[in-house]
Amino acid sequence: MRKGAIKETEQNQEQFLARRNVFKKSMKKNLYYLLFALPVLIYVIGLAIIPAITVVYDSFIGRNGYTLANYMALPSYGLYGALINTMMVSVGALLIQLGIALAIAMVLIRPFKGKKAFSTLVIMPLGISTVVSAFVFSIIFQAVGGYANSALVSIGLRPIDWFNTNSSSLGVVMFSDFWKNTPLVALILYGGLSSLPPTLYEAASVDGAGAFNRFIHITLPNIAPIMSIALLVRGVSEFNIFALPLVIVGYHPLILNTLIFENYSSLQTRNISYAAATLLLAIIMIYSIIVVRLGGARDHVN
């Protein structure tokens, strides 16, 4: 009995040593091949992580050492408005994009005449530069000489001063963003939809489920993971939205990124701009964590 036990421990030890050797070997191999990826890692650490740490650190630095003064001063630079506007644009644009993209994906999944032409048309905005599309939308929505107003007048409606109020200006930004970015979301969702087995729908049809019920009970739950990926990707970019509002509305209404951009260039306000940047970073991190936790996007990332 005791002998057996000793033998067993010896065996265990041998196994352990063998496994450790294999582990060591694979670690060595891993380390060797990691060298190939080292330039990329150094690049990202040096040009992304260290700069970001600098920003966060400097946002807590005042004239006499550590301070929260930069954050306290932010409201006087228009922080609250910028925060609310950023949220409004992000959430609004995300909802429009998801809704229309889902519609496009549902259309594309069916066979119809002219499908190829339609899909080419739909992905076209992906190839148009952000600044170019921002410029075109600023022509379309101009109060004087704008094409949106000329369309309104031609059907007998009154022209609108699109950039007169905060909400209509943000509406224009949202619409331009929808135009530029819906194609990507539609492609993502189309990928998700086309991977669903058709038998799923056939079975439901046999069971007598109507189109609406099939959508709610089959389509939506099945593409929820891929929708959460779309939400993660687009949501993060929505909070980062910069060129579009800068070209279309300038600094009125402010969003977080234009607030950062407005104040970064002078030394007096640079740390103020860093404080705003830190807030934006925090918002994006919190948002990503929530989406990944809720939607299980993580399983799909790997």
**Residue ranges in 197-256 that form contacts with another protein under rule CB under 8 A:** 211, 226, 229-230, 233, 236, 239-240, 242-243, 246-247, 250
| Site size for another protein (CB under 8 A) | 91
User: Among residues 1 and 40, whose Cβ is nearest to another protein?
Assistant: 40
> Of the candidates 87, 136, 160, 196, which one interacts with another protein according to CB under 8 A?
136
148 to 187: interface string for another protein, x by CB under 8 A: -xxx-xx----x-------------------x---xx--x
**Per CB under 8 A, 188 contacts another protein:** yes
Q: Residue 157 carries which DSSP code?
A: P
**Per CB under 8 A, 95 contacts another protein:** no
User: Cα separation of 150 and 157, whole Å?
Assistant: 10
Stretch that binds another protein, among 10-18, 62-70, 89-97, 277-285 (CB under 8 A): 277-285
- Please return the burial class of 78, using the count of CB atoms within 10 Å of its CB with bins 0-12, 13-18 and 19+: buried
Which long-range CB contacts under 8 A does 231-236 form with residues at least 24 apart?
A: 231/94, 231/98, 231/291, 231/295, 232/288, 232/291, 232/292, 232/295, 232/297, 233/184, 233/188, 234/94, 234/97, 234/181, 234/184, 234/185, 235/90, 235/94, 235/287, 235/288, 235/291, 236/284, 236/287, 236/288
**Per CB under 8 A, 44 contacts another protein:** yes
Q: Which is it for the CA torsion 265, 248, 256, 179, positive or negative? A: negative
User: Among residues 11 and 54, whose Cβ is nearest to another protein?
Assistant: 54
**Per CB under 8 A, 268 contacts another protein:** no
- Token duo for residue 80: 């609250």
Using alpha carbons, select from 296, 299, 264 the residue that is nearest to residue 280.
264
Minimum distance from CB of 253 to another protein (Å)? Answer: 17
> Of the candidates 4, 127, 156, 198, which one interacts with another protein according to CB under 8 A?
127
Stretch that binds another protein, among 7-15, 66-74, 98-106, 166-174 (CB under 8 A): 98-106
> Of the candidates 83, 249, 277, 291, which one interacts with another protein according to CB under 8 A?
277
